[in-house]
Structure 1
Amino acid sequence: MSTTSFSRLALPDALLANLDSLGYRAMTPVQSRALPAALEGRDVLAQAQTGSGKTAAFGLSLLARLDLASSRIQGLVLCPTRELADQVAEALRALARRLANVKVLTLCGGAPFGPQLASLEHGAHIVVGTPGRVEDHLRRGTLHLGGLATLVLDEADRMLDMGFQAAIDDIAAQTPSRRQTLLFSATYPAEAAEGGLAGFTRGLLHEPHIVRVEDTHNDATIEQHFYVVADEAARLAALRRLLLYYRPASGVVFCHTKRDTHAVADDLNAAGMQALALNGDLEQKDRERILVMFANQSVTLLVATDVAARGLDIDGVDAVFSLGVAHELDVHTHRVGRTGRAGKQGVACTLISEKERFRLLQLSEQQGEEYEPEPLPEVADTTPLAAPMATLQLGAGKKDKLRPGDILGALTGDGGIAGDQVGKIKVLARSAYVAVARGAARQALAKLERDRLKGRNVRVRRVTQ
């Protein structure tokens, strides 16, 4: 039996059968190192990058140890953002598909309290939520964690960056002292090597099993390039030049500050490239809309801070561009890992000033590679990058019984557009987004404005240029 086979773990047969149906053939490194200890009931402190399989690493442990006969809350997963909480809850429901009547509930800010209260009254086995909203429910007495068996902190370092330490301390204080704690982080602070994260995790973990999965980048799939620039104006000009040279269908530009994200996005849009800024100042609905548009190819470029981009499992990024080496070298490695996934080719370009050359030496020493600056490439095609799709937003969603098939049918019916002109469809609780070929956007908008959907008129608007 392979050492990476799920069948060697003490998992219920229903979970194992479901893993096979979901296409899980072998454990990823973080799963093979964290799951055995988690299934034994031990605390775990694990570092692993987004996309490494960490949700299954803690999710399978949570599900395997549930007492399904009890309706008390046995697992609590805290996430830094509503978006990540929704992703985690969806993944847990998929993993639990063949278990009987497992209820996974999300409690996140930005959503009304009423429906959450009604769901809590009916009980749940696992709650996935953001620290602020979970703390609110505890304060109101609408959430009780006296029977909690496992507390999971997902993207723990990002929650610390966002100022959630006090909320997490308060939540942990209202859970049993003998609970299990599983902590997952994308970066790996040095203190962890000494047995625990200083400050943030003090009192949360008891003799944790420590897992560190190095962010490895295969030279065959990711090309790293470094370019020296003279000043800030030259940095922006170099970025535009690199974008025109590599012409990614999707790319992420990393900046140090929120202000930088707006300045860089404005510069790129002025140059005729479709870019949107992603930072911590955005309201949840705007963040949600931006990420949907990026995922469905209505926007070519995201300009983001490291904090804003953390916790997002963005697949299919062709290239990443850094306007400087990240302050922490592990964060730079995390940026690079956004591209070249699943064996696909990726490019990572970093711009540095003369004063930052020492950071390049540090990065070379850390990664055991000899990185040298290169001259900027010559550009043959100066046509601005153009996103192939446009996004339409509908004012109805899951709560209105709207399904992706309803939207597809409405778009491709009499007088509509061709099926191959319809892209990704994302249906949320109260709204929905559909990507259509940019050249067909006007016709698609007119079709949805003219026809009834699910027997009624639905508001629709175009949310891309």
Structure 2
Amino acid sequence: MTDIIPPTASSADATALPQTTTTAQAFDTLALPAGMLANLQQLGYLSMTPIQAAALPFALAGEDLIAQAKTGSGKTAAFALPLLARLEPQQLAVQALVLCPTRELADQVTQEIRRLARFAENIKVLSLCGGTPMRPQRDSLAHGAHVVVGTPGRIMDHLERGSLSLDTLNTLVLDEADRMLDMGFHDDIAWIAQHCPPKRQTLLFSATFPAGIAALAQRFLRTPRTVKLAEQHAADKIRQRFYEIEHPARLQAVATLLRHYRPVSTLAFCNTRQQCRALVELLRTEGFHALALHGEMEQRERDQVLIQFANRSCSVLVATDVAARGLDIAQLETVINVDVTPDPEVHIHRIGRTGRGDAEGLALSLCSGADKRRVAAIAQAAGFEPEWQDITALPIEDASALRPPMSTLLILGGRKDKIRPGDVLGALTGEAGFTREQVGKITVTDHHTYVAVTQEIAGDALRRLAAGKLKGRPVKVRALED
């Protein structure tokens, strides 16, 4: 997921990080040990990828770094080579820690670091993840390790038990940091970082830059360098379509667009709170799962709405620009501009919520005759030709309302009760017998835990969680209704 906003845009998402341009360079232009360069050549690392060329000079110089990098961009080498270059192999103690959101990613990173570490003998890289027994991991730690790769929950477990010490750590890597925040690991990351020596290098890699990333960086990184590659901006992945319609008919037109395109997740922008409420009421009347997000809502209510939408248990989120500021939702298929904004930069920012990463997006705008001047100004500023379509000509092959793929369960208990995402996942995939694929995003707040499950198991999952225990205690669970 990356911003599609041009560098000239002034929105928060676009200006959070400067643009960096790179060209292909050989690894031997870097100050790397001869053995490491020979190993890279043997492994087929002929030239640096853009993220490696942009990040490695800063990282090798010992500077803290925030880098935008998606899976497959070569990011593992961008942090693995610097941490390996700083290792003292003769000191058998943990000198680098890489935090990953999932066991699958941690295993991939572990294998890649081991390949890159072949230039030196006896460099021990250890993976510490949940879902596997603790005792073998404790035994491995007792024999010593140079690099530890793991998931936040299991790293915390070892730190609390005293089987892992970070006293000799010199490099901390947060890999796919946005995904870790998405999974509710913010406090876990903070707790782990506080157990690391203050004099260390911290490298943060993230595919997107929501507000939580900036807060994390401000708290745990020291005057970091920032790398955000310009070539990752891909505005052509967003297909824009415009529909001229009389102003009183635009709310009903939203339902027509939803029934025609049938997106799983849609963010609809209105210019006023009143129109937000009116659109949600209309969509609910017609059977859609819709929620509103506007400035009059209390923070807890706002947070709950965002969790449901991010969980994909709500089909349509209707929001004002102010309320949606900083909103970054993965897998957002469609943006609908119920009202055309008079500001071209706001329009670009709105539609930039879709079409992120490798996905394509759809941006649909409803316009009255008076709005055509605004559309022309937006098109001129962004450099595209508007594609106009007749909404009355759109075929409706399925007139039923959209049904979100997930349902959100609310557990009364959170961080204050020592509940972690792994506890909930374990309860659902353990005795309850559900698969990992049937469990979605898990969000833990101070007093509540939200877990997304597929619609077909929602009722059964609720009953099993209510009949079981978390942290050895029974919990109250209910399904969130929109």
Range class of TM-score, shorter chain:
0.5 to 0.7
* TM-score (norm: length of structure 1): 0.57
Q: For residue 318 of structure 2, what is the aligned residue in structure 1?
A: 303
| Mapped contact 1:105–1:126 kept (Cα < 8 A) | no
Give the distance between the partners of 2:402 and 2:360, measured in 1 at CA: 19
1:314 aligns with 2:314: no
1:226 aligns with 2:242: yes
1:392 aligns with 2:409: yes
Give the distance between the partners of 1:91 and 1:330, measured in 2 at CA: 39
Give the distance between the partners of 1:392 and 1:284, measured in 2 at CA: 19
1:239-263 Cα shifts (integer Å, max 9, x gaps) = 2221122121222223446665455
Give the distance between the partners of 2:478 and 2:343, measured in 1 at CA: 42
Deviation at 1:217, TM superposition (A): 3.5
Deviation at 1:447, TM superposition (A): 3.2
| Counterpart residue identity of residue 351, structure 1 | L
1:463 aligns with 2:470: no
| Mapped contact 1:46–1:212 kept (Cα < 8 A) | no
> SS in structure 1 opposite 2:292?
strand
| Mapped contact 2:242–2:386 kept (Cα < 8 A) | yes
Change (3 A) 1:33 1:104: same
1:446 aligns with 2:463: yes
Give the distance between the partners of 2:453 and 2:385, measured in 1 at CA: 44
Give the distance between the partners of 1:88 and 1:350, measured in 2 at CA: 36
The structure whose Rg is larger is: 2
| Mapped contact 1:38–1:182 kept (Cα < 8 A) | no
Q: Show the 5 A alignment for 1:55-94.
A: none
| Mapped contact 2:335–2:363 kept (Cα < 8 A) | yes
| Mapped contact 2:268–2:338 kept (Cα < 8 A) | yes
1:411 aligns with 2:432: yes
Structure with bigger RCO (C-alpha 8 Å, 6+ apart): 2
Q: For residue 55 of structure 2, what is the aligned residue in structure 1?
A: 35
Give the distance between the partners of 1:147 and 1:373, measured in 2 at CA: 57
1:244-285 Cα shifts (integer Å, max 9, x gaps) = 221212222234466654554344223321122345776676
Q: For residue 255 of structure 2, what is the aligned residue in structure 1?
A: 240
Segment drifting more, 446-455 vs 94-103: 94-103
Q: For residue 423 of structure 2, what is the aligned residue in structure 1?
A: 402
1:134-167 Cα shifts (integer Å, max 9, x gaps) = 9xx9xxxx999995878989999987xx9x9xxx
Aligned length: 377
Q: For residue 351 of structure 1, what is the aligned residue in structure 2?
A: 366
1:376-415 Cα shifts (integer Å, max 9, x gaps) = 1445343222224322122456834715132133434xxx
* TM-score (norm: length of structure 2): 0.55
Deviation at 1:434, TM superposition (A): 3.5
Q: For residue 283 of structure 2, what is the aligned residue in structure 1?
A: 268
| Mapped contact 1:156–1:183 kept (Cα < 8 A) | no
Deviation at 1:94, TM superposition (A): 8.8
1:99-124 Cα shifts (integer Å, max 9, x gaps) = 74679999xxxxxxxx9xxxxx9898
Q: For residue 332 of structure 1, what is the aligned residue in structure 2?
A: 347
| Mapped contact 1:215–1:337 kept (Cα < 8 A) | no
Q: For residue 369 of structure 1, what is the aligned residue in structure 2?
A: 384
1:6-56 Cα shifts (integer Å, max 9, x gaps) = 967858999xx9xxxxxx999876x266325544759999998xxx64998
Give the distance between the partners of 1:103 and 1:285, measured in 2 at CA: 35
Deviation at 1:460, TM superposition (A): 1.1
Q: Show the 5 A alignment for 1:161-240.
A: 179-182=223-226, 212-213=230-231, 215-218=233-236, 222-231=238-247, 233-240=248-255
Q: Show the 5 A alignment for 1:422-441.
A: 422-424=438-440, 426=442, 428=444, 431-438=448-455, 440-441=457-458
CA RMSD of aligned residues (A): 5.9
> SS in structure 2 opposite 1:402?
helix
Deviation at 1:299, TM superposition (A): 1.1
Deviation at 1:295, TM superposition (A): 4.0
Give the distance between the partners of 2:437 and 2:208, measured in 1 at CA: 40
Unmatched tracts of structure 2, length 5 or more: 1-21, 40-44, 114-124, 126-145, 153-159, 161-165, 178-185
Q: State the identity as a percent.
A: 27
